[in-house]
Amino acid sequence: MSTIAPDRTPLASDATTSPHWIGGEAVHGGITGNDIVDPATGGVIGRVSYADDALIERAVAAAAAAFPAWRDTPWPRRAAVMFEFRTRLRERIEDIAAVITAQHGKTLEEARQEVLRGLDAVDLATGIGTTLKGQMSEQVGRGVDTFSSLHPIGVGVAVSPFNFPALLAIMPIAAAIAAGNALILKPSERDPGASIIIAEAAREAGVPAGILSVVHGNRPVVEALIDHPDVKAVTFVGSTQAARSVYARAGERGKRAQTLGSAKNHLVVLPDADLDATVDAVVSGAFGATGQRCMAVSVVVAVGDIADELVARVVDASQGIVVGAGTDSVTQMGPIISAAARDRVRRIVGDAVDAGADAVLDRREVEVEGYEGGFYVGPVVLDNVTTEMEAYREEIFGPVLSVVRVDTLDAAIELIRGNPYGNGAALFTSNGSDARRFEREVEAGQVGINVPVPVPIATFGSAGWNDSIFGDTQMNAGSVGFWTRTKFVTTRW
């Protein structure tokens, strides 16, 4: 098991420190972590401690001890707990949304919608009995029958990112626990507050102590959890570099892993597209959640002679977007998560302009009155971007839309095929034949036709292709296979 660096100062309990959650209760302690910063103001609003070896051992021990009884709990009872979990989460929507906005910066409405989307995953978990069924074949030999059954794997770890601190915590919690496992959640240290409210809701719903724990920390904490001999699986969402590292570490230790990484989502616009609908979709897909989502539209591929009008109308629709604090009712786009992230966005835009891109809309230096210390970047539209530019190659994770111009649909499909990521791709057209060809040939795991952000509902799995995922299972409905293992039994009586 990895050892957390011992040269950190033990952290005393205080009201501003986000606690861990172990054994069904809030637990303070560990080692000094980081400040929690409000992106809207740049001010420190709390602290988070990182788990040390003792807290990690305590969380894993609690999970391992609670697992056998929860595994043996009939699935209808586990489903009933999920029904109650959904109720408790819905009652706390405003509390969860408020802490997300305070720690992440997205608007209150975006935060509410995030929680509501998480409830879809809990809805799926309430029907866990429909997906935990095995198969049977009788008389495979004389007097011999064979059947299969699904069994929970034990103690799992979920590492969730900063950009959806509720949704991407609720999804693995619902799937893993409904399937009979114990789960340790390691949320982002930037905005950990939502995870504790979710854990409280789970306890109130009847999730036994130890079945859900929350520990805070950075990379050493994740590595220590992966290395622990009682941890059987890890699910992760973050950058491709980190996803690859987590997947490799888990594989080396014989652990099951699904790790979701970066994205570079393309939206292709054909000349026959309905421009009114397309422009609305491009703007919402690119600048919703300040571009800080793995399914954000980051590249528009304009095919043929539609490019000039498309770009002009996107710019016109974007230049009036109200940037401000997420708590302000007039705000349409909140701040970036941190000063470093803001500076990175600005640098990438500047480098693209220096390399020949046209900044047809450049609001990267936007200032918000009364919030001068906040981490704000307004919408940016870069035209005539080439594939050599960092603005095209890398996931920016900010409100930057790159426009690449090509002559044909063939060229658009080939452009997407040449990108290392394959999270999502969309096509806007009124031609059914072109749409069908695109959905069959494009290299992406989630495809939209006249839909800019094509994330399936929870009853379908969701995952990208290529360097956007490591492992062969998906989230939501596709995760039941990840959280269970199959037993085959052959009998003769």
Helix (H) or strand (E) holding 286: helix 275-287
Q: At what angle do helices 193-205 and 167-178 cross, to 10 degrees?
A: 30
How far is 5 from 435, CA to CA, in rounded Å?
Answer: 53
How far is 92 from 84, CA to CA, in rounded Å?
Answer: 13
Q: Would the CA dihedral through 67, 68, 69, 71 be positive or negative? A: positive
The residue among 407, 408, 411, 443 whose CA lies nearest residue 425 is: 443
How far is 466 from 476, CA to CA, in rounded Å?
Answer: 19
Instruction: Answer whether 490's CB lies under 8 Å from 145's CB.
Output: yes
Strands 484-492 and 144-152: antiparallel
How far is 260 from 168, CA to CA, in rounded Å?
Answer: 11
Which one from 294, 296, 301, 381 is the annotated catalytic residue? 294
Instruction: Retrieve residue 10's tokens.
Output: 């033990």
How many Cα atoms sit within 13 Å of 51 on the Cβ side? 34
Partners of residue 11 on adjacent β-strands: none
Residue whose entry in the numeric block shows the structure tokens 């034949």: 433
Partners of residue 362 on adjacent β-strands: 380
Instruction: Answer whether 376's CB lies under 8 Å from 323's CB.
Output: yes
Partners of residue 252 on adjacent β-strands: none
Residue whose entry in the numeric block shows the structure tokens 């997420």: 326
Buried b (16+ CB within 10 A) or exposed e, 338-363: beebbebbbebbeebbeeebebbbbb
DSSP-assigned letter for residue 239:
-
The residue among 264, 258, 299, 306 whose CA lies nearest residue 408 is: 306
> Which residue type does 293 have?
R
How far is 308 from 375, CA to CA, in rounded Å?
Answer: 32
How far is 120 from 458, CA to CA, in rounded Å?
Answer: 6
Q: Residue 432: what are its φ and ψ, rounded to 5°?
A: -65, -35
Whether 49 is a known active-site residue: answer no
List residues with catalytic annotation: 294
